[in-house]
Amino acid sequence: MASTSFAFGELLYDATLRFTKVIEYGLSLAAFLGGQAAPPPAGSRIDVVFEGPLSGPRIKGHMSGVDYLQIRADGQAKLHIHAEIATDDGEKIAFLAMASSGRKRTPACYNSART
């Protein structure tokens, strides 16, 4: 496998990903995103399976994976993404990303759900 270098900030690819399956554990993703439901006091997890093509100046291929989304009781979301990129030239690239929403959601449903 050849080593490849790239410049910081250089575009490697654009992705067009779609959700192929959503597994909800105690909280509806649609209701949460729509501000209609608050997470339970212990928080919740939602697995979001995705896949789609990649195209760009440096990488062309296909990505598939799952985001083990954790939603805390205060509404903060934590992403934990595991995926694989299969390039058009036959290489496989492991992809891991973790992030946090950085802000808490406080829709009206939180007030009624907590009283």
Q: List, for residues 10-36, the tens digit of each pLDDT value.
A: 888 999 999 999 999 989 999 988 889
Residue 3 in this model has a pLDDT that exceeds 60: yes
Residue 102 falls in which region: left (phi positive, over 0), alpha (psi -120 to 50) or beta: left
Which among 65, 76, 70, 66 is positioned nearest to 25, based on CA atoms? 70
The domain locations on the chain are 14-113
Q: List, for residues 41-85, the tens digit of each pLDDT value.
A: 999 999 999 999 999 998 999 999 999 999 998 888 899 999 999
Residue 38 in this model has a pLDDT that exceeds 80: yes
Q: How far is CA 2 from the centre of its chain?
A: 29
**14-113 has which CATH code?**
2.40.160.20
Residue 115 in this model has a pLDDT that exceeds 60: no
Q: List, for residues 90-104, the tens digit of each pLDDT value.
A: 999 999 999 998 655
The whole-chain average pLDDT of the chain stands at: 86
Specify whether the CB–CB gap between 36 and 109 falls below 8 A.
Answer: yes
How many whole angstroms separate alpha carbon 44 and alpha carbon 76?
11
Specify whether the CB–CB gap between 26 and 47 falls below 8 A.
Answer: no
Element (H, E) at 109: helix 108-113
How many whole angstroms separate alpha carbon 29 and alpha carbon 14?
25
Confidence of residue 108 (pLDDT cuts 50, 70, 90): low
